[in-house]
């Protein structure tokens, strides 16, 4: 498998991109407003926030590449 394709190719787009962005922003706001009280749950929400925002900014999801899923528009 090509390393560049595995880690850099854009494969997230459309509805999937919007959902990832919304989940990342909502999770970040929940953490910023201290709505989550439990410490283990805070780490889970932080992971969701990071993953959602990271994958929506880069438009890449490594598990999608491994599974052969591509929701981005074809060029």
pLDDT digits (tens, 9 = 90+) for 52-70: 999 999 999 888 888 988 9
Query: Taking a C-beta distance cutoff of 8 angstroms, is the pair 24, 56 a contact?
Result: yes
The angle, 0 to 180 degrees and rounded to 10, between the axes of the packed helices 39-58 and 15-32 is: 140
Q: pLDDT digit string (tens) for 4-25? A: 777 788 899 889 999 999 999 9
Handedness of CA 9, 15, 16, 18 (dihedral sign): positive
Residues 6 or more apart whose Cβ sits within 8 Å of residue 73: 13, 14
């Amino acid at each position: 498998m090509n390393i560049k394709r595995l880690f850099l190719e854009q494969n997230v787009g459309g509805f999937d991109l919007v959902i990832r962005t919304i989940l990342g922003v909502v999770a970040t706001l929940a953490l910023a407003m201290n709505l989550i009280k439990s410490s283990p749950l805070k780490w889970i929400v932080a992971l969701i926030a990071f993953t959602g925002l990271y994958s929506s900014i880069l438009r890449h999801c490594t598990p999608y590449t491994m599974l052969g899923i591509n929701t981005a528009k074809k060029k």
